[in-house]
Amino acid sequence: MAHPRACFSLPTRPFLSRRARCSPALLQFARKPCIARSRFQSTNADVPPLRPSNPAVPDESSPDLSHLDPTPEDYSRFIFQDKCRVTMHAGSGGHGCVAYLREKYIEEGPPCGGDGGSGGGIYIQTVEGLTSLHKLARRGIIRASRGRNGQGKSKGGKRGDDILIQVPVGTVVREVSRYDPVEEQWARIKEAKESAQFAKEEKEVWGNPDDLEAENEELEEPEEPEYNPIQHDRWVLHPSSKPSDFLMVQFPKLNPRRQNIAAMEPKAPIWLDLSKPMDKPMLLAAGGAGGLGNPHFSTRSMGRPKFASRGEGGMMLELDFELKILADVGLVGKPNAGKSTLLRSLTNSRTRIGNWEFTTLSPHIGTVITDDMKGRPLVESKARRTHFTIADIPGLVENAHLDRGLGLGFLRHIDRAGILAFVVDLSVGNPVEELKKLWHELGEYERIRDTDPDCGPEEEDKIIEWNPFTEENEHDERPWKPDSEEPARLAPNASPDGSLPPLAMPPVHMKPWFVVATKADLENTQSQYRALQEYLSGVQNGSIEHPSGHAKGWKDRVCAVPVSAKQGEGVSRIPKLVMDLLE
Ligand SMILES: Nc1nc2c(ncn2[C@@H]2O[C@H](COP(=O)(O)OP(=O)(O)OP(=O)(O)O)[C@@H](O)[C@H]2O)c(=O)[nH]1
Ligand SMILES: [Mg+2]
C-alpha cells in the first residue's frame, strides 16, 4: 500500500557538514549499517525519502526504511537493569614464610622467609557506551584474588589480581554494609585499652589503698603474660615446631596493617556520584596487606624466629549501584505515540514496534553518534560531544503517578533523563491537551517524590559525614562479635533490612524539554501542529503558564519538531536540537 504523502513540508536539512556531505568516501562509509550515523545519512537525503508506490518495482535510489515499519516480531531484546546490589571481597594478604638459609657449610642459616603478597583490590571506572548495570548484577558476588604466601630464600609472594568494575556514566554507588577486619582489630585493641583504663579507675575508687601503688605500676606498664597463648589467627608457625618450642617465646606486639594504597579508598560509608567518564579507575577497597616473613621478627635474643605473621584479611563491601542518569534524552509520551519508531529512526536500536499500547515494557537506550569517528563533528554545536543517548521509556497513562499502567517504576526512569522529549501523536486528539496531561503526570510524580522525607538532600549530607570509627560513633551499641556469622556493619542510612533511601533527584520542571510532534505524515495533522506551535511560543514568551504549573519551569528554547518517524522525515533536526540543549 502506498504511504500517504506528507501533508505539509517537513524540514529535511541534512545535519552532515557540507564537507562531509560532499565527500563520496565518507558517504560510502556512512552507508554501513553498523552505526547509528548511517541512519542519518539514509534518512536525510535532499529528496524526501518516500517509499515506492509499487513495492514490486524496487527503487534503487530510495533508502530502505523497512527498519522503521517492522513487523512486531522483528526486534531484539534489550537487557536493561538500572539498579543492583553487589557484594565485593577484596583479596586477603598472603602469609609470611618461616624459612632459614640452607647452604653448604651453613648448617643453621639466618631466617630468610619472604613476605606474603598483598591481596587484590577492587577498582571502579565509568565507561562511556555502557547503558545498563545488568552485567554487574549478574555477578552478584565479586572476589579479588588472594596474595600468594611468601617463600624461602626471601622470595615475596605474588600480589593478588585486582578487579575492575566498569559501570555506565551516571551511576551512583552507595554502601549498604561493610566488614573491615583491620578496623575490627583496631576496635578490639581500643576496647582492651579502655577496659584496662576502666579497671584502673575502678580500683582507684573502690580498691585497697595499700595495694593501689602496686596496681598503678602494673597498669602503667601493662605486663605481658609470661607464657603467651599463641594467637594462631596472627601467626604462622614453622611446620616442624612443637607447642613447647613457644613456651618461653615472647611474641612481638603486632599491630594490624594496611597497604599504603588504602589511603586512596573513599571515606566510609561510600557515596559516589559518578557522573563523568573516568580516565583512570578509582580504588574502592584495597586488598589486605601481606604477612611478614620471619626475618622481620629476628632479635638479639631470638636470632631464628620460628614464626611469621599472617596476611591481613580483605575488606567486604556490600554496595548498591543505581543509574542516576539513564540517558541524555528521555522520550516521554502516551502508549502507542510512536516513541519506539522515533528511537529506531534516530539510532540503530531494534526496539519492538507494534500498533498496540505497551509494546515497550522496559527502557531501551540507543546512541546517536554525532561525529564521523575521526573526531570531526557531524553536528555543529558548542557541546564537545561525539554522541548522546536516547531512552525509549514505556508509555505514560493517565494517573501513572498513582501507580497505574506500568506505575511509578518507569516515572523514575523519566526522572533520570537529562532532557525530556515529549512525543505527541498529531493524528489523535489535541496535542496541546496531550502535552498538558503528560506534564501533569510528571508534576504529580515530582510532588509525591519531593514530599517523601527519605529522599531529602539533608539525608545525603548526614550519610557523607558518617565514619564508623570516629569518636562520634563510640556509643554505637552494637558490640563487636569476633566470631559472628554476620559481622558486617550496616551503613547508618540503611534500614535494618538493608534498603537505602531513594536518590535525591533534581526537579523535573527544571529540565530542558522539547516536543516531537510525530505521525505528521498522516491526514489533517497540520492544523494540530500549528496549534501546538502557538501554545509553545506562548509558554516561551510567558503569556501561557508553564505546563508543569511551575512559574520557574524551564522554557528557554521550547519548540516542537514535526516528524514522520515511520518515513524518517524531519528527524534530522533532533540531534542538532539536543546538542544545543546539552551545551
Ligand atoms: N503513520 C505513522 N505511523 C507511525 C509513526 N510513528 C509510529 N507510527 C506507528 O504507530 C504505532 C505505534 O508505534 P510505536 O513506536 O510502537 O509506539 P510507542 O510509543 O513506542 O508505543 P508503546 O511502546 O506501546 O508505548 C506503530 O504501528 C507505528 O508504525 C509515524 O511517524 N507515522
Ligand atoms: Mg514502544
Residue 323 C-alpha to ligand 1 middle, in angstroms? 27
More confident site: 264 or 462: 264
CB 412 within 8 A of CB 396: no
Residue 68 C-alpha to ligand 2 middle, in angstroms? 12
Name the burial class of residue 117, with classes exposed (0-12), middle (13-18) and buried (19+) by CB atoms within 10 angstroms of its CB: buried
Index of the ligand 1 atom closest to the CA of residue 336? 21
pLDDT at 360: 83
Identify the nearest ligand to the CA of 358 by its number: 1
**Helix, strand and coil percent figures for the chain, each rounded to 5:** 30, 15, 55
Name the burial class of residue 306, with classes exposed (0-12), middle (13-18) and buried (19+) by CB atoms within 10 angstroms of its CB: buried
CB 65 within 8 A of CB 567: yes
CB 250 within 8 A of CB 224: yes
Question: What secondary structure does DSSP assign to 93-142, as a single string?
Answer: PPPP---B--BTTBSSPPB-PPPPPPPPPEEEEEETT---SHHHHHH-EE
Residue 171, ligand 1, Cβ within 6 A: no
What are the backbone angles phi and psi of residue 313, rounded to the nearest 5°?
-70, 155
Identify the nearest ligand to the CA of 331 by its number: 1
Identify the nearest ligand to the CA of 354 by its number: 1
**Following CA atoms 28, 32, 36, 39 in sequence, which dihedral angle do they give, to the nearest 10 degrees?**
60
Using alpha carbons, list the distances in angstroms from residue 156 to 8, 96, 256, 305, 554: 77, 8, 19, 18, 62
Residue 349, ligand 1, Cβ within 6 A: no
Residue 335 C-alpha to ligand 2 middle, in angstroms? 7
Tens digit of each residue's pLDDT (9 = 90 or more) over 481-513: 334 444 677 777 777 777 788 777 778 889 999
Residue 461 C-alpha to ligand 2 middle, in angstroms? 39
Three-state SS letters, 60-71: CCCCCCHHHCCC
Residue 337, ligand 1, Cβ within 6 A: yes
Residue 444 C-alpha to ligand 2 middle, in angstroms? 23
Residue 51, ligand 1, Cβ within 6 A: no
Number of Cβ atoms within 10 Å of the Cβ of 357: 14
Indicate the CATH number for domain 18-50+326-452+504-582: 3.40.50.300
Domain ranges across the chain: 18-50+326-452+504-582, 83-323+461-490
> What residues contact residue 509 under an 8 Å CB cut-off, 6+ apart?
442, 443, 446, 546, 548, 549, 550, 552, 553, 554
Residue 395, ligand 1, Cβ within 6 A: yes
Taking the alpha carbons at both ends of the chain, their separation in whole angstroms is: 43
pLDDT band (50, 70, 90) for residue 468: very low
Tens digit of each residue's pLDDT (9 = 90 or more) over 394-443: 888 777 666 666 667 777 888 888 899 999 999 988 999 999 999 988 88
Index of the ligand 1 atom closest to the CA of residue 357? 24
**ipTM attached to this prediction:** 0.98
Residue 300 C-alpha to ligand 2 middle, in angstroms? 79
Tens digit of each residue's pLDDT (9 = 90 or more) over 169-207: 889 999 999 999 998 888 888 888 898 888 888 887 776
To 10 degrees, what angle do helices 181-206 and 209-220 make? 160
Q: What is the DSSP letter of 372?
A: -
Residue 341, ligand 1, Cβ within 6 A: yes
For ligand 1, atom 26, name the residue with the nearest CA.
355
Residue 363 C-alpha to ligand 2 middle, in angstroms? 9
Q: Which of 179, 177, 184, 193 is nearest to 480 (CA)?
A: 184
Does 457 sit behind a cis peptide bond, omega within 30 degrees of 0 on the bond before it? no
pLDDT at 30 over 60: no
> What residues contact residue 142 under an 8 Å CB cut-off, 6+ apart?
86, 87, 88, 89, 122, 163, 165
pLDDT at 221: 55
Indicate the CATH number for domain 83-323+461-490: 2.70.210.12
Using alpha carbons, list the distances in angstroms from residue 390 to 72, 344, 349, 417: 21, 10, 10, 8
Residue 331 C-alpha to ligand 2 middle, in angstroms? 10
Residues 365 and 391: their CA atoms lie apart, in Å, by 4
Residue 338, ligand 1, Cβ within 6 A: yes
pLDDT at 227: 52
Residue 340, ligand 1, Cβ within 6 A: yes
For ligand 1, atom 9, name the residue with the nearest CA.
338
